[in-house]
Every structure is written in C-alpha cells, then in structure tokens.
C-alpha cells in the first residue's frame, strides 16, 4: 500500500503498471476500489493510479476539506506529489466535477479529463428539497438511508453483493462527506465550461437515473471539442455495471 500527504491529509493510493498515467477518482463516499476492473485491464499498457480521497477508503478523515474546491485542490496537489506528467483524470459521479475544476484551474498539469456519470449541474435544477431530505434522512438513520439510496446507482437486476460492498464503503467513510451534498446542490459550472482547454470525453451509463443523460449532453456541447459516449445497459456506476463495455469505451476515449 502507498500513501502520500496532501494538504495535511494522508491519502492512500494504488499504483499499477507503466505508461501514460491515468488517475482514477471515485464518487461520493466510496473508494478507489470501484475501479478494480479498470485497473486490472488497463495496467497492461498504462500507469493506473487509484486514490481514496479524504474521508473515504483507507485515507485520513480530517475535520475539514469537504467541498468541491477542497477536493480539487487535493487532486492537483496529488498530481504534484507523484510528479505525474499531464495525467488523464477520470472521475466518477461528483468526481466528474473535480476533473472539470482541475482542468479549469491548472490546464498545464492535465493531459485530458474523462468525467464518468458526472454529477455536475443537475442538483441545481430545482432539487434543493430532495437534497435537504437526503441530508435529513442521513442524519436520522444513516445506514437505512444509504440502504435505500445506493441500489438506485446500479442498473436493474444488479447483484446484491455489489450493492452491499458499496454500502460498506459508504458506511466506513466519515459523515463529514455530507458537506459535499450541500456544496453540490449549488454547483453549476456551465458558464465556465467554454474555458476548458484540455481534451474532454464524457462516459455515461445509458440507464443512469441519478444523473440524467441530458446533463453530459449539455456539458459536452459547451466544452470545445468535447465528446460523449453512452455505455449501453449501465446505470450510474457504469464502470462496475458493465465493466467490459465500459473498459472498451474508455480505451476508445483514451485513443
């Protein structure tokens, strides 16, 4: 296991293979393990780095630093700490926002970004009541609220073992990550997307009910030269739902 100190927090990461560096960023409350199927495939011809961001997985759980801007700062410092040369940032769900913000803040450091089932501006579209209810449910009964919430991340018929594993990761993460829910409720980068100057390719599950497909469609239309690939038969966790199809789509995007 490897660790590095970033902005005062010790972050756990795994580093496999050699070649073009790919940095995989997990979504809310999970860990770098959600990318296992991608690491196993791509490490044969890429340098694959999966990192647990603060508060999650095997990384530290500091009391502060749980906003989109904070985690983006961590990501850029992580790139510096490992001396990575223009890596591709691949971010699932809310981590799609981290990749976009990193590209806007430091385009000279980033080779490309691939937002996956990216939670971008959809929560700002009249969903404040739903976000408030989710936060209230988490405070009242965290385990129960997550047990109701997480199955919707996967396609219909997804295995219970995978859902249970995801739940365990979320329950192991700190409750402080809930601050990201509040932050994301007001997040809307659309007015700045025309300033993204790194190659961008969205990957999105066909059956994603958490982030509607029109979200990446709109974002791709606002970023110069951006593309979008829809992963057939996949839900919000498309890299796990349809791993083989996702890996092929990712390889195509990397080319």
Residue range 77-86, pLDDT digits in tens: 999 999 999 9
* pLDDT number for residue 126: 61
pLDDT at 1 over 80: no
Whole-angstrom Cα distance, residue 89 to residue 102? 9
DSSP letters, 135-149, are: HHHHHH-HHHHHHHH
* pLDDT number for residue 22: 98
pLDDT at 242 over 90: yes
* pLDDT number for residue 119: 79
* Residue 206 near residue 178 (C-beta atoms within 8 A): no
Q: Where are the domains of the chain?
A: 2-254
* pLDDT number for residue 76: 98
Give me the mean pLDDT over the 176-181 stretch: 95
Q: pLDDT, tens digit, for every residue of 100-128? A: 999 999 999 999 999 999 978 766 566 67
* pLDDT number for residue 122: 66
* pLDDT number for residue 60: 97
Whole-angstrom Cα distance, residue 17 to residue 31? 20
Whole-angstrom Cα distance, residue 145 to residue 126? 21
Average pLDDT, the chain: 95
Among 120-124, 159-163, 178-182, 198-202, which is the least confidently predicted range?
120-124
Whole-angstrom Cα distance, residue 242 to residue 207? 11
Find, among 41, 56, 42, the residue nearest to 174 by Cα.
56
Q: How would you classify residue 92: left for phi > 0, otherwise alpha for psi between -120 and 50, otherwise beta?
A: beta
Q: pLDDT, tens digit, for every residue of 134-147? A: 999 999 999 999 99
SS (H, E, C) 9-55: EEEEEEEECCCEEEEEECCCCCCHHHHHHHHHHHCCCEEEEEECCCC
Fold of the domain built from segment(s) 2-254: Rossmann fold (3.40.50)
* pLDDT number for residue 186: 87
Backbone phi, psi, residue 39, to 5°: -60, -45
pLDDT at 169 over 90: yes
Q: pLDDT, tens digit, for every residue of 218-235? A: 999 999 999 999 999 999
Q: pLDDT, tens digit, for every residue of 192-209? A: 999 999 999 999 999 999
The Cα diameter of the chain in Å comes to 47
């Amino acid at each position: 296991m490897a660790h590095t100190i970033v902005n005062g927090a010790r972050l756990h990461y795994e580093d496999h293979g050699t070649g073009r560096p790919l940095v995989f960023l997990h979504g809310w409350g999970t860990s770098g393990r959600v990318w296992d199927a991608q690491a196993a495939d791509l490490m044969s011809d890429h340098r694959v780095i999966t990192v647990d961001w603060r508060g999650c997985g095997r990384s530290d759980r500091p009391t502060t630093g749980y906003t989109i801007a904070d985690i983006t700062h961590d990501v850029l410092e992580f790139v510096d700490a490992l001396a990575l040369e223009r890596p591709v940032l691949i971010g699932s769900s809310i981590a799609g926002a981290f990749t976009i913000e990193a590209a806007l803040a430091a385009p000279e450091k980033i080779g490309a970004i691939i937002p996956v089932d990216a939670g971008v501006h959809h929560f700002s579209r009249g969903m404040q009541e739903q976000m408030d209810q989710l936060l209230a449910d988490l405070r009242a009964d965290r385990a129960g609220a997550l047990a109701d919430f997480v199955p919707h991340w996967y396609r219909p018929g997804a295995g219970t073992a995978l859902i249970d594993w995801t739940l365990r990761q979320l329950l192991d993460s700190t409750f402080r990550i809930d601050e990201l829910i509040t932050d994301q409720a007001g997040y809307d980068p659309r007015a700045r997307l025309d300033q993204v100057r790194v190659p961008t390719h969205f990957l999105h599950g066909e059956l994603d009910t958490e982030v509607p497909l029109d979200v990446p469609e709109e974002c791709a239309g606002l970023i110069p030269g951006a593309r979008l690939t829809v992963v057939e038969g996949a839900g919000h966790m498309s890299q796990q739902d349809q791993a083989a199809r996702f890996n092929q789509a990712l390889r195509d995007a990397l080319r």
